[in-house]
Structure 1
Amino acid sequence: MTADPGKSAAPQPPAGGKGGWWPKVRPAAYLVLGGVSLYLVLPSLLSVFGSWRSLEHLDWPFAILAFACEITSYVCLWEVDRIALGTRAWFPVAAAQLTGFSAGHALPGGGATSTAAATAMLRKARIAETQDIVTAYGAAAILQMATTFSLPVLALPAILGGAAVNHSLATAAYLGVAVLVTILAVGTAVFVSDKPVERAGRAVQWLLNATVRRRKHVTDVPQKLLADRDFVRTTVGKRWKATLLAAAGNSLFDYFALLAALHAVGADPHPSLVLLAYVAGELLTLLPFTPGGLGFVEAGLVTTLTLAGVPGGDALAATLLYRIVSYWLPLLAGGVAYLLFRQRYGSGNARS
């Protein structure tokens, strides 16, 4: 899933820690919290893995399509990283992202470990210096999250217009194209003008103040959004149109992978409602309690897909297939990418 800053598309820059006792106990606290979280979601996780026998009856053309969509999603992700890093190289960028993804999910430290592994590889490949890499990944992450979480809002007219009534993949494709065009139009307006950003910021600010009781109202959301937009625009430079297209493709092809997985297990879902379930799953990947939202994503996807009209057994099997192509296979690919990178660039230290 795209928005997972671990799957996440781009590894996240490590947060700067403060002095005191918290940095010393933080790893142990996260370990305990992660163990408790896994215990709580273990029944759902076991239910998903227990549906593996259903994969024997897959409609394999759709299963292959899910895999192909996920590969395309990752290619779009690497293109975002390439533009942000200012390089034409494909292999080191892809290898660094996959290795960072695997390291961040297999070793303690999460996003910090992911960023450190990817940064070391890119420096060794002489792609960029550390600060430039962290800046590029930060800009890429902001853009990817913005496009992912704008999907349900931009698809709302199609949902209200009745797109949920038709279950066909053709309708899903039309919905995806419509959302893509809308993302590009809105993204273009955001990059060239301050007004859309300010209006969106004021709307979010009003929503936060109206729905969450707090001692002091939020007042700086428009300014923060403008600062993030300027940061991304400065980082990607004149290639912001290509970056926007690649970021939108990253999210949309990931969504198409989930749709194809549902059709592969024989489900007949509402494409627009599946889109909402997909975004809910993306939100769950951000939970820091388990690597990549492991357990939470599976439980959340099964629940939201069931609410979207997918039978329980199909929701379990489709979630398993989708997580295989979007989480477990990239996790394994990271190890292969690291070995290939070492073979090409050697195993010495990165340049200082």
Structure 2
Amino acid sequence: MTTERLKVTGAKTLKRTPLIIAFFLVFNYLVVPQLGGARQAADKLSAVNPILLLVGLGLELTALVAYAQLTRVTLPPTPRLSMSTVLRIQLSTKAVTNLVPGGSAAGGTLGYRLLTQSGVNGAAAGFSMATVGLGSAVVLNLLLWIALLVSIPLDGFNPVYGTAAIAGMVLLAVFAGLVVLLMKGRDPAIRVVRAVADKVPFLDPDTAERFMLTLVARLQDLIEDPTLIRRGILWASVNWLLDAAALWVFIRAFGPTLNPVDVIVAFCVANILAVIPITPGGLGFVEATLIATLVGFSLDSSTAAIAVVTYRLAQFWMPIPLGAISYATLRVGPRSIHKMRSRHPIRDLTGDTIDVAGVRVWDVEDERSTPTG
């Protein structure tokens, strides 16, 4: 290994070390205490409704299928990937996302790699990943606003929820403004992106610029296909609503019944905070926010703790072994997408996870990543 490569490796290690430390701090001070609260509420397990637990689990599995369908509708008709293939790719992606701090980018990169190995053109795979990620974020914020408009007359205005909704919409508005400027070929937008990225820890201005340029190229294609926009909004909404419904069912399994609108508010606020790239999949942030918000909606703390922990077992932890199994099926067997089949797929998943942790989808060269001016 050359001196230059050692320097690059050392720099990457130094950049990731604070994230790893932050992950363990959050896990220690946010997740562990909640697990303790769940143990104190263990007496509620004797009264749990097992049928509703199975229903909640089924809703989570269905939500994963809906997310795979969201990805599938954004892919080109040729080659036409089966639902089974797309679902296995998404499960593999989610497993990495839930294992790596700031894992959305690493998971997206693995998803891109698996899509291209399935025969999808690189530009089309990048378009799909960008469309799914941005579309899901927009739909989530819209769901929060709709739920707030319904819940305010019922529960009154809560400054915390209003602040989260306003912050989410402001970020989306700023992001949309930059995209509009870039689509018009405005250099000032690029300078703004680089200036903001320069102030954000662990974010490289060059990487931020490539991301924005790549995303703009994808959006230009998306605007030309309104049917795809409608289908994307539909399946993103189905995915989020099924996930929120699973949370409501897990709460109901332990006895209490909450207004579904209140549960959607708590769900949306928690998932908006989950985008903070410190812990994998918002681990710790989601649990703390959900428990606090549900308690604010009159659910007792012990029930909130055990219901949220049960929900996260299905929503966060279950996809990890499912993703490992899915990745193994992509590596072996007659329906493998790899030309070179592997005898050690799980070890390969570990290797791929380490590999993509330092790479982003928008780092892949694409001649269409420069907007027209």
Question: With structure 1 as the length reference, what TM-score do the two structures score?
Answer: 0.71
- Could you tell me how far apart the structure 2 residues matched to 1:225 and 1:305 are? 36
- Over 3 Å off, 4+ runs: 19-24, 51-56, 218-222, 224-233, 346-350
**Does the CA contact (< 8 Å) of 2:147 and 2:265 recur in 1?**
no
**Does the CA contact (< 8 Å) of 1:63 and 1:264 recur in 2?**
yes
1:228-257 deviations in Å (ceiling 9; x for gaps): 799447248333222211111111111111
Deviation at 1:40, TM superposition (A): 2.3
- Could you tell me how far apart the structure 2 residues matched to 1:240 and 1:285 are? 24
1:257–1:204 distance in 2 versus 1, CA, 3 Å: closer
**Counterpart residue identity of residue 95, structure 2:** S
Does residue 261 of structure 1 match 2:233? no
- Could you tell me how far apart the structure 1 residues matched to 2:145 and 2:102 are? 33
Deviation at 1:130, TM superposition (A): 3.0
Q: CA RMSD in A?
A: 3.3
**Does the CA contact (< 8 Å) of 1:140 and 1:232 recur in 2?**
no
SS in structure 2 at match of 1:266: coil
- Could you tell me how far apart the structure 1 residues matched to 2:313 and 2:173 are? 42
**Counterpart residue identity of residue 153, structure 1:** W
Pairwise mapping of residues 27-106 of structure 1 onto structure 2 (< 5 A)? Answer: 27-47=16-36, 49-50=38-39, 51=41, 54-87=44-77, 88=80, 89-106=82-99
**Counterpart residue identity of residue 177, structure 2:** Q
SS in structure 2 at match of 1:310: coil
- Could you tell me how far apart the structure 2 residues matched to 1:297 and 1:108 are? 14
- Could you tell me how far apart the structure 2 residues matched to 1:346 and 1:222 are? 36
Which of the numbers 138, 146, 160 marks the counterpart of 2:138? 146
**Does the CA contact (< 8 Å) of 2:19 and 2:101 recur in 1?**
no
**Counterpart residue identity of residue 345, structure 1:** S
Deviation at 1:304, TM superposition (A): 0.9
Which residue of 2 is the match for residue 188 of structure 1? none
Which of the numbers 264, 275, 278 marks the counterpart of 1:275? 264
Which residue of 1 is the match for residue 108 of structure 2? 115
- Could you tell me how far apart the structure 1 residues matched to 2:100 and 2:307 are? 28
Which of the numbers 117, 124, 134 marks the counterpart of 1:132? 124
Which residue of 2 is the match for residue 311 of structure 1? 300
- Could you tell me how far apart the structure 2 residues matched to 1:295 and 1:334 are? 21
Q: Which moved more, 1:247-256 or 1:228-237?
A: 228-237
**Does the CA contact (< 8 Å) of 2:250 and 2:311 recur in 1?**
yes
Which residue of 2 is the match for residue 327 of structure 1? 316
**Counterpart residue identity of residue 123, structure 1:** T
- Could you tell me how far apart the structure 2 residues matched to 1:345 and 1:321 are? 33
- Could you tell me how far apart the structure 2 residues matched to 1:80 and 1:101 are? 14
- Could you tell me how far apart the structure 1 residues matched to 2:306 and 2:173 are? 45
- Could you tell me how far apart the structure 2 residues matched to 1:340 and 1:21 are? 35
SS in structure 2 at match of 1:85: coil
Does residue 241 of structure 1 match 2:200? no
1:100–1:38 distance in 2 versus 1, CA, 3 Å: same
1:204–1:231 distance in 2 versus 1, CA, 3 Å: farther
**Does the CA contact (< 8 Å) of 1:48 and 1:298 recur in 2?**
no
1:306–1:204 distance in 2 versus 1, CA, 3 Å: closer
Which of the numbers 273, 285, 288 marks the counterpart of 1:296? 285
Which of the numbers 147, 155, 158 marks the counterpart of 2:150? 158
**Counterpart residue identity of residue 132, structure 2:** A
Q: Which runs of 5+ in 2 are unaligned?
A: 1-7, 157-164, 184-214, 342-373
**Does the CA contact (< 8 Å) of 1:155 and 1:272 recur in 2?**
yes
How many equivalent residue pairs? 285
**Counterpart residue identity of residue 336, structure 2:** Y
Does residue 223 of structure 1 match 2:210? no
1:221–1:298 distance in 2 versus 1, CA, 3 Å: closer
- Could you tell me how far apart the structure 2 residues matched to 1:223 and 1:124 are? 35
Deviation at 1:349, TM superposition (A): 5.2
- Could you tell me how far apart the structure 1 residues matched to 2:75 and 2:139 are? 19
1:111-147 deviations in Å (ceiling 9; x for gaps): 3431232222222221x13332122111111111111
- Could you tell me how far apart the structure 2 residues matched to 1:56 and 1:299 are? 24
Deviation at 1:259, TM superposition (A): 0.7
1:47–1:21 distance in 2 versus 1, CA, 3 Å: same
**Counterpart residue identity of residue 274, structure 1:** V
Deviation at 1:107, TM superposition (A): 4.6
- Could you tell me how far apart the structure 1 residues matched to 2:113 and 2:274 are? 25
1:219–1:239 distance in 2 versus 1, CA, 3 Å: closer
Deviation at 1:160, TM superposition (A): 3.6
- Could you tell me how far apart the structure 2 residues matched to 1:219 and 1:328 are? 33
Deviation at 1:52, TM superposition (A): 5.2
**Counterpart residue identity of residue 76, structure 1:** A
